[in-house]
C-alpha cells in the first residue's frame, strides 16, 4: 500500500510557494504539506490558509523549522543559494530526505560536505536539476543512448537567458551579485552542466572560460537615464529594459495583459496593475539597470575538455529575445539538434538523405514549469521514496549533481583568471 509523504516546506519564494507547493494539489495521494517556514509572515499566512497548515506548524525561518523535532518525511529547501547547505546539513541529521533547490552551494567544500552527510545518514537528496525531467531532454537521452550518431565527439550548447530575464534576475533581482549569492554561471547554468554530463555520459577533466559584464554598468547608461525607471527617465523610449515596459506592458508577462505569474509574483504577493506599479515605484525592480549593485556577467562562454578527449562548449548570454536552450551533438555517425524553442529533436545520420524530426509537442502535454520538468521531478522523487525503489535514469543523485557545480565553479575561476585552464580534480578532492 502506497504511503503518502509528509512534506515540510522551507522557503516560500517563487520556487517554494508557486512551483513546489502546488504539487501537493497535483499529487494529493502522494504528498501532504504539513509544515512551512519563511521570513515573510504574509507568505506564511497565505500558504497556511491555502494548504490548511495549523498555526503551530508555521515557522518564521527555515532554522526555526529545522530546530523542531522531525515533522515530516521530506523537506523542500527553497531558500537563497548561500543558505542551502547550512540548512540542509542539520535537516539531514534530523532524518529528512531533501528536495534541494539548486545550486547546492557556491562553495565546493560545502558541496563535498553535503555528499558526505547524505551518505553517512542514508538520506536521499535530490537537487532540482529539473531539465532532466522534461519531455524533450528525456527523449533526447533515450535517443543518444541508442548510439544512433555513434560516439559523441563534440557538443555545442547555448543558454538563451532572455533580455528581460537577465534584467529581472541578474541585474535588479536576487542573483545580481555573487558576493551575496552565486556566480551567474553556477546559478543559471548548473542546469546546463548537469544536462551535458548526463546526456553524454562523460566526465569533465578541465575547463576554460571567458565572460564579463558588457552592458549593465554605470558607464553604459544612456544620456538622461534616471536612477529609477519611473523617476522621469529621459532615455525610456529607446530602452527595452525599462521596468514599465517589462512588468506592465510586455505582451506576454505584463500586468496590463492580466498576467499574474512569474516574474510578477516576485515583485508583489498579489500582482495587479496597481501593485506592480507601486513595486516599480518603490522596490528594487524599478531601478535603472545601469545603476544597480550587480556584478555578475551578462555573457559567458565555457569550454570543457572531457576525460576521453572529447569537447563541449557552452554559451550563456543575456542578449537574446527569448529564454530557451539549444544544443547540437556531433558524433562519429551523425548529428542531433535539440531546440527548446521549436520543441523539436532533429536527427541526421551521415549518408542518409532525410533528417528525422521529432515534434515533442506530439508526445507530451505538460510543458508547464521548466518545459514540464518541475512537476515530473517532484513526482519521481515521491515515487522513489514511497515505493522504496532506486533512482531512475533521470534521477540526479547529489553525487552526480555536485559534478555540474564543479564544472560551473571551475568556469568562474577560469573567467576571473583570464581564461586559465582549471582542472576539476581540485574541486573533487579539495586539494
Biggest CA pair distance of the chain:
68
Residue where one domain finishes, among candidates 104, 127, 150: 127
Residue where one domain finishes, among candidates 286, 305, 320: 286
What's 11's domain CATH number?
3.40.50.720
Residue 172 lies in a domain: yes
What's 422's domain CATH number?
3.30.360.10
Same domain, 41 and 106: yes
pLDDT tens string, the chain, 431 residues long: the values are 468 999 999 999 888 998 999 999 999 999 999 999 999 999 999 999 999 999 999 999 999 999 999 999 999 999 988 899 999 999 999 999 999 999 999 999 999 999 999 999 999 999 988 888 888 999 999 999 999 999 999 999 999 999 999 999 999 999 999 999 999 999 999 989 999 999 999 999 999 999 999 999 999 999 999 999 999 999 999 999 999 999 999 999 999 999 999 999 999 999 999 999 999 999 999 999 999 999 999 999 999 999 999 999 999 999 999 999 999 999 999 999 999 999 999 999 999 989 999 999 888 666 555 666 788 889 889 988 998 776 666 777 888 899 999 999 999 999 999 999 999 999 998 86
Residue 404 lies in a domain: yes
Same domain, 117 and 168: no
Same domain, 205 and 69: no
Same domain, 313 and 208: yes
pTM of the model: 0.92
Same domain, 353 and 320: yes
Residue where one domain finishes, among candidates 127, 152, 171: 127
> What SS3 class is residue 77?
strand
**Can you give the residue range of the structural domain that contains 236?**
218-286
DSSP per residue over 212-260, as a string?
E--SSSGGGPPTT--SBTTTT-TTGGG-TT-HHIIIII-TTT-GGGT--
- Check if the beta carbon of residue 416 is closer than 8 Å to that of residue 211: no
| Cell numbers describing residue 148 | 544512433
Residue 380 lies in a domain: no
Same domain, 273 and 309: no
Residue 378 lies in a domain: no
Tens of pLDDT along 3-52?
Answer: 899 999 999 988 899 899 999 999 999 999 999 999 999 999 999 999 99
- Check if the beta carbon of residue 288 is closer than 8 Å to that of residue 227: yes
Total structural domains within the chain: 3
Amino acid at each position: 500500500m502506497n504511503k503518502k509523504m509528509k512534506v515540510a516546506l522551507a522557503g516560500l519564494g517563487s520556487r517554494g510557494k508557486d512551483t513546489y507547493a502546488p504539487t501537493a494539489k497535483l499529487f494529493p495521494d502522494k504528498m501532504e504539506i504539513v509544515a512551512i517556514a519563511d521570513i515573510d509572515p504574509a507568505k506564511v499566512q497565505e500558504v497556511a490558509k491555502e494548504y490548511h497548515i495549523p498555526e503551530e506548524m508555521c515557522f518564521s525561518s527555515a532554522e526555526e523549522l529545522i530546530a523542531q523535532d522531525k515533522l515530516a518525511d521530506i523537506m523542500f529547501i527553497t531558500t537563497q543559494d548561500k543558505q542551502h547547505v547550512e540548512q540542509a546539513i542539520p535537516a539531514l541529521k534530523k532524518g529528512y530526505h531533501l528536495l534541494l533547490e539548486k545550486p547546492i552551494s557556491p562553495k565546493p567544500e560545502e558541496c563535498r560536505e553535503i555528499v558526505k552527510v547524505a551518505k553517512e545518514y542514508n538520506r536521499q537528496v535530490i537537487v532540482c536539476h529539473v531539465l532532466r525531467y522534461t519531455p524533450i531532454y528525456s527523449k533526447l537521452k533515450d535517443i543518444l543512448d541508442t548510439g544512433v550518431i555513434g560516439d559523441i565527439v563534440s557538443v555545442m550548447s547555448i543558454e538563451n537567458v532572455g533580455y528581460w530575464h537577465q534584467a529581472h534576475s541578474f541585474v535588479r533581482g536576487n542573483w545580481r551579485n555573487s558576493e551575496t549569492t552565486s556566480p551567474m554561471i553556477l546559478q543559471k547554468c548548473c542546469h546546463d552542466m548537469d544536462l551535458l554530463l548526463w546526456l553524454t555520459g562523460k566526465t569533465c577533466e578541465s575547463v576554460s572560460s571567458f565572460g564579463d559584464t558588457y552592458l549593465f554598468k554605470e558607464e553604459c547608461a544612456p544620456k538622461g537615464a534616471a536612477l529609477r525607471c519611473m523617476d522621469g527617465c529621459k532615455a525610456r523610449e529607446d530602452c527595452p529594459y525599462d521596468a514599465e515596459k517589462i512588468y506592465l506592458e510586455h505582451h506576454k508577462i505584463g500586468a496590463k495583459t492580466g498576467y499574474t505569474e512569474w516574474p510578477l509574483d516576485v515583485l508583489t504577493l498579489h500582482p495587479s496593475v496597481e501593485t506592480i506599479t507601486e513595486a516599480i515605484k518603490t522596490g528594487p525592480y524599478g531601478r535603472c539597470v545601469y545603476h544597480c549593485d550587480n556584478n555578475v556577467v551578462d555573457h559567458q562562454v565555457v569550454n570543457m575538455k572531457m576525460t576521453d578527449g572529447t569537447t563541449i562548449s557552452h554559451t550563456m548570454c543575456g542578449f537574446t529575445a527569448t529564454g530557451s536552450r539549444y544544443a547540437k551533438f556531433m558524433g562519429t555517425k551523425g548529428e542531433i539538434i535539440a531546440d527548446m524553442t521549436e520543441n523539436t529533436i532533429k536527427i541526421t545520420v551521415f549518408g542518409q538523405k532525410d533528417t528525422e524530426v521529432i515534434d515533442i509537442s506530439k508526445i507530451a502535454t505538460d510543458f508547464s514549469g521548466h518545459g514540464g520538468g518541475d512537476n515530473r521531478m517532484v513526482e519521481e522523487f515521491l515515487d522513489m521514496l514511497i515505493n522504496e525503489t532506486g533512482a531512475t535514469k533521470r534521477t540526479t543523485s547529489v553525487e552526480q549533481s555536485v559534478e555540474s557545480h564543479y564544472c560551473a565553479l571551475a568556469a568562474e575561476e577560469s573567467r576571473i583568471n583570464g581564461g586559465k585552464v582549471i582542472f576539476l580534480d581540485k574541486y573533487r578532492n579539495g586539494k
